[in-house]
């Protein structure tokens, strides 16, 4: 990533989409996995010059990122700028909100200062992301569907394959009508600590599904094969967590929603990350509208999205 030095002191605006995670390959480092970027919900960050550092975030996320940036660049104090979070996706919904927000905050400050840092350094050392899954980090920079490596020896899992999905495809993101528990932070780490590494047979099956079915279907724009292999991959990846969640999905509410979608004719159904967001795929905008109409009476919260094949958007004025 290169940021011209004459950006210093200007207004920097970065907007990025959200990430759907189709599932991990393993439950121990380096994990590996597959996911895709979608165009909404949007996260938008604006950085402007100011007399001193300030931010609109009520947590320590932004200030911690600023401190890590100062350490990397050798700055004595936080940059004189104001950081405003104009839009953000809801947290702990399985949409990769923390990664997209942290990446946008980190890169907007880097661009504002005119620094020249690699994407990997920005991700791992400043945004402090990519420690378990790198799908959202790579998706931030590249867009599209990302299959990340599960090989050892990298500070940030490498991209095995990236695919651009057809613009006419749609993905519906849904949440159960009843509240579903969320898993994050210490709870999430405790779950992984209890699991350890998955059996080799499970890892190999997941890798085979991705390499021989899901990726070829994505690259050839074969909608039916894509949806079929995606649902099976997501289900089998969910079974890696069977010991801590009692099945392939993180709650009964999500399992019921998956069943309802399939009985309504939805395809490519799965849970994103720990949930509670569930996704299903439609071959066109019209078929997405038809499915939404059929589901309207259920009261399920639905958002119609496009695949985001482009990287985050940066504006400097």
Q: Say whether 219 sits in a helix, a strand or coil.
A: helix
DSSP structure string for 233-292: HHHHHHGGGHHHHSSSSSSHHHHHHHHHHHHTT-EEEEE-TTSS-EEEEESSHHHHHHHH
**Residue 9's pLDDT band (boundaries 50, 70, 90)?**
low
Q: Model confidence over 195-225: pLDDT tens digits?
A: 778 899 999 999 999 999 999 999 999 999 9
Whole-number pLDDT of residue 14: 98
Determine contact, residues 251/180, Cβ cutoff 8 Å. yes
Task: Say what the pLDDT of residue 180 is.
Answer: 61
What distance in Å separates the CA atoms of residue 163 and residue 221, rounded to the nearest whole number? Answer: 10
CA 67 to chain centre: 24
Whether residue 177 is predicted with pLDDT greater than 90 in this model: the reply is no
pLDDT for the residue 39: 98
Q: Tell me the torsion sign for CA atoms 244, 245, 249, 250.
A: negative
Q: For 18-68, how does the pLDDT look when each residue is reduced to its tens digit (9 = 90+)?
A: 999 999 999 988 899 999 999 999 999 999 999 999 998 878 999 999 999
3-state secondary structure of 52: coil
Nearest to 151 by CA among 142, 160, 163: 160
The Cβ-side half-sphere exposure at 218, using a 13 Å CA radius, reads: 25
> Is residue 232 predicted with pLDDT exceeding 70?
yes
Identify the band that residue 315 occupies on the pLDDT scale cut at 50, 70 and 90: very high
Give me the count of residues in the chain.
317
74-91 confidence digits (pLDDT tens): 999 999 999 999 999 888
Q: How many CB atoms lie within 10 A of CB 93?
A: 20
pLDDT for 299 equals 87
Inter-CA distances, 47 with 58, 159, 247, 283, Å: 16, 30, 44, 38
Query: Does position 178 have pLDDT exceeding 90, yes or no?
Result: no
Q: Please give the Cα distance from 35 to 135 (Å, whole number).
A: 6
pLDDT tens string 83-119: 999 999 888 899 999 999 999 999 999 999 999 999 9
| pLDDT tier, 179 (very low <50, low <70, confident <90, very high otherwise) | low
Dihedral, CA atoms, 153, 155, 161, 167, nearest 10 degrees? 170
Q: In order of start, what are the domains of the chain with their CATH numbers? A: 5-165+309-316 (3.30.230.10), 170-306 (3.30.70.890)
What does the pLDDT read at residue 249? 96
Mean predicted lDDT score pLDDT of the chain = 93
Residue 186 has pLDDT above 80, yes or no: no
Q: What is the pTM of this model?
A: 0.93
């Amino acid at each position: 990533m290169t940021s011209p030095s004459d950006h210093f002191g200007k207004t920097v605006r970065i907007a990025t989409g959200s990430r759907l995670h189709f599932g991990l390959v393993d439950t121990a480092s380096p994990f590996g996995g597959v996911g895709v970027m979608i165009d909404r919900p949007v996260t938008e960050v604006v950085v402007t010059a100011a007399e001193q550092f300030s931010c609109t975030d009520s947590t320590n996320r932004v200030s911690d990122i600023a401190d890590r940036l100062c350490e990397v660049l050798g700055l004595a104090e936080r940059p004189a700028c104001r950081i405003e979070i104009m839009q953000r996706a809801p947290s702990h919904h399985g949409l990769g909100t923390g990664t997209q927000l942290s990446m946008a905050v980190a890169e907007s400050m880097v661009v504002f200062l005119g620094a020249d840092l690699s994407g990997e350094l920005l991700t791992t050392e400043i945004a402090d992301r990519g420690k378990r899954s790198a799908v959202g980090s790579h998706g931030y920079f590249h867009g599209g569907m990302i299959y990340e490596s599960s090989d050892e020896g990298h500070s940030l899992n490498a991209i095995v394959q990236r695919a651009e999905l057809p613009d006419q495809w749609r993905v519906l993101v849904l949440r159960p009508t009843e509240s579903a528990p969320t898993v994050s932070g210490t709870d999430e780490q405790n779950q992984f600590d209890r699991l350890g590494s998955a059996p080799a047979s499970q890892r190999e099956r997941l890798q085979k599904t991705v390499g021989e079915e899901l990726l070829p279907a994505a690259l050839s724009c074969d909608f039916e094969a894509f949806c079929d292999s995606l649902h099976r991959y997501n289900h089998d990846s969910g079974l890696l967590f069977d010991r801590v969640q009692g099945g392939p999905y993180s709650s009964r509410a999500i399992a019921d929603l998956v069943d309802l979608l399939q009985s309504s004719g939805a395809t490519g159904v799965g849970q994103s990350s720990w949930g509670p967001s569930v996704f299903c795929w439609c071959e066109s905008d019209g078929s997405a509208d038809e499915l939404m109409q059929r589901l309207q009476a259920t009261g399920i919260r639905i958002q119609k999205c496009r695949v985001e094949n482009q990287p985050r958007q940066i504006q400097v004025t």
